[in-house]
Chain A
Amino acid sequence: MTTEVGSETEVKEKAEESATQSDQSEKATEAESQEVASAEGEEKETEKEKEKEKEKEKEGKGISRYLPWLKKQKSQSQTSPTKEVTPTEEAISTVKQEEEGPAPEVNGHAEEVEEKEAAKSEQVKEKEAESHSNASADTEPAKEEKVDESPDKSAEETKETTEGEGVHEDKKEQEGEVQGEGEGGEEGQTSIFQSPLRLVRKTKMKLVVCRVTQMDGADFTCEVEKRAKGQYLFFKVCEHLNLLEKDYFGLSYIDSHEQKCWLDPTKEIKRQIRSNNWQFSFNVKFYPPDPSLLTEDITRYLLCLQLREDVASGRLPCSFVTHALLGSYTLQAEFGDHEPDQPQPLDYISQVTFAPNQNKEMEEKILELHKSHRGMTPAQADAQFLENAKKLSMYGVDLHHAKDSEGVDIMLGVCANGLLVYKDRLRINRFAWPKILKISYKRNNFYIKIRPGETEQFESTVGFKLQNHRSAKRLWKVCVENHSFFRLNAPEPPTKARFLTLGSKFRYSGRTQAQTRVASSLIDRPAPNFERTSSKRISRSLDGAPVISITDTAENGREPHLELHSDSKVEEVDLSPGDVEATSAQSPLRVHGDNIYVRHSNLMLEDHDKTQDEVLKHQASISQLKRSFMEAPPPSPPQLNQWEKRLTSSPATTIRVQQQQVTGEVEIEETVVVKEVSKATKPGLVTVTVTSSSPDGLSGDKETREQEVKVEEKVVVTVETKAVKQESISSESESEEEAEYHPNVSVSISHTQIPEEDEEEGKIEEDKTTEQDMSAPYVASHPAEIVQLAEEISRGVEESRKEDTEAAKKKIAVMEKEGVKETEESTDDPMMTSDEALNGLTPTGEAVTGLEEEEEPKVNGQASLVEPDQPRPQVICCSEPPVVKTEMVTISDTFAAQKTEIATKEVPIVHTETKTITYEAAQLDGNGDGEPGVLMTAQTITSESLCTTTTTHITKTLKGGLSETRIEKRIVITGDCDIDHDQALAQAIKEAKEQHPDMSVTRVVVHKETELAEEED
């Protein structure tokens, strides 16, 4: 009874099945006696309707998810007024049965129906009833209308299409196909997988003929609705091929730039191909590293076909000997044992392409080797072929042209293990997946962020130049998919979590290798029969007179020449009950949790060690930390790296969790100062204000990011940094210019160093990355919640903003950092100081006060004040000379008793440096930041830990009805050592950007107050 849909996949599969079933039954009906069927159908219908009504009453609302499916069924039935009803219903029942009971029954059912055994039909009815109950009320209205409703139907269908759930589409499309191909001599069940034909449907969607070139060179033609999604076609092809382990495969097409692209199963075909050329090819998309682990021979056979082609075309280079060896296995698989009495075997050999530079010598060698394979079955020969092919160094490597940072031509190879870099034929670098923290692209640049090695303190980002934006994106997608497929247990959900994210949200949507392995381990059908079509090809090339007969134990010795085309109407496959069974068994599979297949590379192990190191480090005293940081090269903030390392090395699950983890490890104290920078009196106070605003017009094209960093020290220095970037954000991910992907599911916490190229872009990227990280590390005790809160709030804001399509500005964060001690260098050279500064932060740490959780209204007040002069709040900060005494007071409040020490120390301090650095986006003005607006909302969230973060959200309405949200974040970091403003800044920016990717950082102010204490370490 309980037809519960577990996952999308399941739904899909069910849909498939049901479709199949319905086909089956329909066919049966046709084949047998239509009249009877129709009669029965009518009867049933009436009954059904009654039942439906009952059910309706029973279940107020059914499983909405089933709706589309049911609708489809219905529509299908509608297609052929007389008889359809019955079949459809049956289909449903069958499906149900599949789920609930033993598969064989299903078939039985179909047959029974055919035979019209009264008793059985009754059963069927009952089942139908059940299914209906499941189906829920929603379905009913539609069904009731059935009789007359062709128009309705079409309308519905359109709706469904728009709904865009693959499942629905599948169904529908199948119908569509039915329409197109309907008829044909069906052999009952036999045809299920092979030819999709059946009912002629009267309602029309626009149908398009798709041509899919299979790996054996044959064309498969089928009609799909114009708005069909990729997966519909893909499933169609798999069905045709009788392929269950389909996750290794995909459909590709040639785009308008002559580039081969993978058809995204989740998107409409039409939108992807962007042309009228509905021509695809069916290929291996993910080369299984160990083909022997595949479950079915047919899968291995298809993989062989792909590899033969790869080898023959030179895409998969191999030596003469290997060519010969692989060729000999091909011969054995296709032609069986070498027959010595066969005349001129070379004749047919030369018909087959084994290698790009095939010659007589090679063919002789192939023959010679072929002789040695005597007795080998085709399946064994295939397996041998694969065993050898998989060892080739370029096996499964997808190459992309690129240039390195110096403009040197290289190739980037994506494979199961990671990313390979080739110069000519030489491998010059390799980045294993575990080594990669982030993959992103921006325009025609492709970046990977690398986890630091054992000896390195910082992660680095490596950039490559692709030919153009499209190729950069294509490469990025391939990376995302390969990583997901080979390294994840389950596909990463699309990036819904992050609202208004810039760039593509593309994620791999299929099953991962781990999942597909589990799924295929449950395949329980007798080995399907399949034709080795390349032998077919050969025979054709030999004037259709196949000289050689296949001796294939596994293959029932079917004669190749009997088969004409893949799309021929003759069904070659026997669909035994077992098949159905298998299908049903397979469908409900879902993989949870555990690592089923994890490949560890050397690097990974190294990382592991490293992690331990890090842990140790962590446990080590703060001073040690400090030391290590000081040793570290200046450019990027070291602490973050360490966090990140740890994070990434542990298979973190969700971002939030990670954040928590991060938090735990952070040893920095945060104090939330709700107030303006100027007030931060304490010596060694660094305030970083990050204001981000993202004015989104309707077009939402421009993003301005401004960063202001103010550093207050005894000496107040203001530095303004402006990073302005313009980016076009298009609604469709396809056209987006950038995207990023964090292979390790981790939040990247550290500073990104972006290699040369565009400075601007680099910065932006960096910012983005940073956002989340920032928040994470700083929140100490209740981090997760706070962060969540913040996110939610901001999200809310965002949404409202979205709806209105208004521009929003967010001021993100004021960061205040307190460093009790300052290093001499710090003032002048931020970079240098940064390391130390961070260290310094640590010790003070715990002083953090209860400010944390307060989400302060008062802040709002403050915020509102700030807003009017949005762009320049920091200036104020800067100008303010630190009032030492006042600050002291504040601090003491903020910091618990623990701080007393510090306070004491600080008192004597005479020399104070205040530094304020403000970074402003150059385009700030252009964005109309200056425009006064009406304050709509203002919220402040304060979180506390080592650092204190105050976040203020301000939404106001600007002229033109646009609303603007500003998030202001203030972070106070206190430490008795030196604080690195640069790092603080970087962190603040990062954080801001990550948290609010859609917003731009308009201003960052770092206010740093340092006591030039006599007492130096």
Chain B
Amino acid sequence: MAGLMAGFARYTHAVVRGIPTSLAADALRSSRSDVDLAKARAEHEAYVAVLRTELGLDVVELAADESLPDCVFVEDAAVVCGDTALVTRPGAESRRGETEAMKGALKDLNLNIVEMTDENATLDGGDVLFTGREFFVGLSKRTNQRGAEILADAFKDYAVSTVPMLEALHLKSFCSMGGPGLIIIGSSEPAQKALKIMQQMSDHRYDKLTVPDDLAANCIYVNLPNKGHVLLHCTAEEFPESTKVFEKLKDYTLIPVSNMEKVKLDGALTCCSVLINKKGNN
């Protein structure tokens, strides 16, 4: 074992979930928009394919559940760090059922499961940013203080700082990790404000990569043994300006992934998978 906090963003497994038909009509969304189910499914398939083939991850695919229209956004159902998995209690009541299948999958992966049983606690995985050294938890409509506390309890090694969220749905609606010590951040005011807070709260230094579009700031970074830095980001079609920014990253393998349909449901790239590293864990 390499020790505490080693091997940031090295993953071996991913958990994803299919898209139910109910997604188009019933999935939660912050703005009114029509979702093309077929397109969304195609998009998701491509996404999973990237995880599987490009990243070489063992992908655990959970079946869609029609009663859970949002179930494709698995990120909110669990937070995995090291060999501990916190099964959350999503802020949206309609989504609480999503954790069942997730818990099962994580158990099968032999992770230590911590469940959020406190009925006063809510937490969406989308509000949790793990930087490799610490956690930031956005206190949003979906995540409350109690939820963050339970997360802190589950991952005792790390500092857990709270970031008040004003507008965006989730903390990761405008940011994500783009590498060790690199935060990709949107340029909107709330995003910048949140970044300031994070910087203030942290003992560590982070570089930031600012992109013009908040939504484009949500990327998936993976450190692959054979490929090094790999970044899954938005396509030029969606966010041309932001894409240009990513293209400036040196020594990165850039993989544009389309997310045009899911984004209508506030689903960003990270939302659709839970990434797990089983190798480093003894």
Report which A residues bind B (CB closer than 8 A): 317-322, 325, 365, 368-369, 372, 384, 387-388, 391-394, 417, 423-430, 432, 435, 453, 600-603, 606
- Tell which of A317, A319, A426, A427 touches B145, judged by Cβ atoms closer than 8 Å: A426
Given contacts A319-B82, A426-B149, contact A393 B157 (CB under 8 A): yes
CB neighbours of B206 from chain A (8 A) = 602
Whether the Cβ atoms of B83 and A602 lie closer than 8 Å is no
Total CB contacts across the A-B interface at under 8 A? 89
Find residues 126-149 in chain B having any chain A CB closer than 8 Å to their own CB.
133-134, 137, 145, 148-149
Find residues 200-222 in chain B having any chain A CB closer than 8 Å to their own CB.
200-203, 205-206
The 4 closest A-B pairs by CB, nearest first: A393-B159, A425-B152, A427-B161, A317-B156
Q: Please tell me if B199 contacts chain A, counting CB pairs below 8 Å.
A: yes
Given contacts A426-B145, A428-B161, 17 further A-B contacts (CB under 8 A): A317-B157, A321-B82, A321-B84, A321-B282, A325-B4, A369-B1, A391-B157, A393-B158, A394-B159, A425-B153, A426-B161, A427-B161, A430-B203, A601-B203, A601-B205, A602-B200, A603-B199
- Tell which of A319, A368, A600 touches B84, judged by Cβ atoms closer than 8 Å: A319
Whether the Cβ atoms of A603 and B200 lie closer than 8 Å is yes
Q: Please tell me if B112 contacts chain A, counting CB pairs below 8 Å.
A: yes
Whether the Cβ atoms of A322 and B162 lie closer than 8 Å is no
CB neighbours of A391 from chain B (8 A) = 4-5, 133, 157
The residue of chain B having its C-beta at the shortest distance from the C-beta of A418 within the complex is B203
Cα separation A424 to B120 with both chains bound (whole Å): 15
Whether the Cβ atoms of B201 and A429 lie closer than 8 Å is yes
Whether the Cβ atoms of B83 and A321 lie closer than 8 Å is yes
Q: Please tell me if B188 contacts chain A, counting CB pairs below 8 Å.
A: no
Find residues 158-173 in chain B having any chain A CB closer than 8 Å to their own CB.
158-162
Cα separation A144 to B201 with both chains bound (whole Å): 66
CB neighbours of A602 from chain B (8 A) = 199-200, 202, 205-206
Question: How extensive is the interface on chain B, given as a class?
Answer: 20 to 34
CB neighbours of B117 from chain A (8 A) = none
CB neighbours of A435 from chain B (8 A) = 200
CB neighbours of A387 from chain B (8 A) = 3
- What are 27 A-B pairs with beta-carbon distances under 8 A? A319-B82, A321-B4, A321-B281, A321-B282, A322-B4, A322-B156, A322-B157, A325-B4, A372-B1, A387-B3, A393-B158, A393-B160, A423-B145, A424-B152, A425-B149, A425-B153, A425-B160, A426-B145, A426-B149, A427-B160, A427-B201, A430-B161, A435-B200, A601-B203, A602-B200, A602-B206, A603-B199
Whether the Cβ atoms of A427 and B82 lie closer than 8 Å is no
Whether the Cβ atoms of A388 and B202 lie closer than 8 Å is no
The residue of chain A having its C-beta at the shortest distance from the C-beta of B134 within the complex is A393
Whether the Cβ atoms of A392 and B201 lie closer than 8 Å is no
CB neighbours of A601 from chain B (8 A) = 203, 205
At the interface, is chain A mostly helix, strand, loop or mixed?
mixed
Whether the Cβ atoms of B3 and A325 lie closer than 8 Å is yes
The residue of chain A having its C-beta at the shortest distance from the C-beta of B3 within the complex is A388
Report which B residues bind A (CB closer than 8 A): 1, 3-5, 82-84, 112, 133-134, 137, 145, 148-149, 152-153, 155-162, 196, 199-203, 205-206, 281-282
Return A381 CB to nearest CB of chain B, in Å: 12
Return B110 CB to nearest CB of chain A, in Å: 13
Whether the Cβ atoms of A606 and B282 lie closer than 8 Å is no
Cα separation A404 to B17 with both chains bound (whole Å): 44
The residue of chain A having its C-beta at the shortest distance from the C-beta of B206 within the complex is A602
Cα separation A425 to B149 with both chains bound (whole Å): 6
Whether the Cβ atoms of B201 and A388 lie closer than 8 Å is no
Whether the Cβ atoms of A320 and B162 lie closer than 8 Å is no
Cα separation A432 to B112 with both chains bound (whole Å): 35
The residue of chain B having its C-beta at the shortest distance from the C-beta of A317 within the complex is B156
Whether the Cβ atoms of B162 and A428 lie closer than 8 Å is yes
Cα separation A428 to B162 with both chains bound (whole Å): 6
Cα separation A368 to B281 with both chains bound (whole Å): 12
The residue of chain B having its C-beta at the shortest distance from the C-beta of A424 within the complex is B149
CB neighbours of B155 from chain A (8 A) = 319
CB neighbours of B160 from chain A (8 A) = 393, 425-427
Cα separation A417 to B134 with both chains bound (whole Å): 16
Cα separation A392 to B157 with both chains bound (whole Å): 5
Given contacts A318-B157, A393-B157, A606-B199, contact A325 B112 (CB under 8 A): no
CB neighbours of A388 from chain B (8 A) = 3-4
The residue of chain B having its C-beta at the shortest distance from the C-beta of A384 within the complex is B3
Return B192 CB to nearest CB of chain A, in Å: 10
Whether the Cβ atoms of B4 and A427 lie closer than 8 Å is no
Cα separation A388 to B157 with both chains bound (whole Å): 10
CB neighbours of A372 from chain B (8 A) = 1
- Tell which of B4, B83, B201 touches A430, judged by Cβ atoms closer than 8 Å: B201
CB neighbours of B157 from chain A (8 A) = 317-319, 322, 391-393
Whether the Cβ atoms of A368 and B201 lie closer than 8 Å is no
Cα separation A369 to B282 with both chains bound (whole Å): 8
Whether the Cβ atoms of A427 and B83 lie closer than 8 Å is no
The residue of chain A having its C-beta at the shortest distance from the C-beta of B281 within the complex is A321
Whether the Cβ atoms of B112 and A320 lie closer than 8 Å is yes
Cα separation A772 to B112 with both chains bound (whole Å): 59
The residue of chain B having its C-beta at the shortest distance from the C-beta of A428 within the complex is B162
Return B68 CB to nearest CB of chain A, in Å: 29
Return A977 CB to nearest CB of chain B, in Å: 33
The residue of chain A having its C-beta at the shortest distance from the C-beta of B201 within the complex is A430
CB neighbours of A428 from chain B (8 A) = 161-162
CB neighbours of A425 from chain B (8 A) = 149, 152-153, 160
CB neighbours of B281 from chain A (8 A) = 321
Cα separation A79 to B137 with both chains bound (whole Å): 68
Whether the Cβ atoms of A319 and B162 lie closer than 8 Å is no
- Tell which of B5, B152, B199, B282 touches A368, judged by Cβ atoms closer than 8 Å: B282
Return A81 CB to nearest CB of chain B, in Å: 61
CB neighbours of A365 from chain B (8 A) = 282
Cα separation A429 to B161 with both chains bound (whole Å): 8
Given contacts A325-B3, A369-B1, contact A318 B162 (CB under 8 A): no
Return A55 CB to nearest CB of chain B, in Å: 57
Cα separation A426 to B144 with both chains bound (whole Å): 12
Most B CB contacts (10 A, CB to CB) among A319, A368, A384, A430 go to A319
Given contacts A325-B4, A384-B3, contact A417 B153 (CB under 8 A): no
Cα separation A606 to B84 with both chains bound (whole Å): 35
- Tell which of B134, B149, B152, B156 touches A318, judged by Cβ atoms closer than 8 Å: B156
The residue of chain B having its C-beta at the shortest distance from the C-beta of A320 within the complex is B112
Whether the Cβ atoms of A319 and B156 lie closer than 8 Å is yes
Cα separation A318 to B112 with both chains bound (whole Å): 15
CB neighbours of B148 from chain A (8 A) = 426
Return B184 CB to nearest CB of chain A, in Å: 16
Cα separation A384 to B152 with both chains bound (whole Å): 25
Cα separation A427 to B160 with both chains bound (whole Å): 6
The residue of chain A having its C-beta at the shortest distance from the C-beta of B4 within the complex is A388
Return A225 CB to nearest CB of chain B, in Å: 43
Cα separation A320 to B112 with both chains bound (whole Å): 10
The residue of chain B having its C-beta at the shortest distance from the C-beta of A324 within the complex is B282
The residue of chain A having its C-beta at the shortest distance from the C-beta of B149 within the complex is A424
Return B115 CB to nearest CB of chain A, in Å: 16
Cα separation A430 to B159 with both chains bound (whole Å): 12
CB neighbours of B199 from chain A (8 A) = 602-603, 606
Cα separation A321 to B3 with both chains bound (whole Å): 9
Cα separation A600 to B205 with both chains bound (whole Å): 9
Return A383 CB to nearest CB of chain B, in Å: 11
The residue of chain B having its C-beta at the shortest distance from the C-beta of A606 within the complex is B199
Cα separation A387 to B205 with both chains bound (whole Å): 19
Whether the Cβ atoms of A426 and B156 lie closer than 8 Å is no
Return B130 CB to nearest CB of chain A, in Å: 13
Return B129 CB to nearest CB of chain A, in Å: 14
CB neighbours of A432 from chain B (8 A) = 200
The residue of chain A having its C-beta at the shortest distance from the C-beta of B160 within the complex is A426
Whether the Cβ atoms of B162 and A427 lie closer than 8 Å is yes
CB neighbours of A317 from chain B (8 A) = 156-157
The residue of chain B having its C-beta at the shortest distance from the C-beta of A602 within the complex is B199
Return A376 CB to nearest CB of chain B, in Å: 13
The residue of chain A having its C-beta at the shortest distance from the C-beta of B145 within the complex is A426
Most B CB contacts (10 A, CB to CB) among A391, A425, A426, A453 go to A426
Whether the Cβ atoms of B282 and A430 lie closer than 8 Å is no
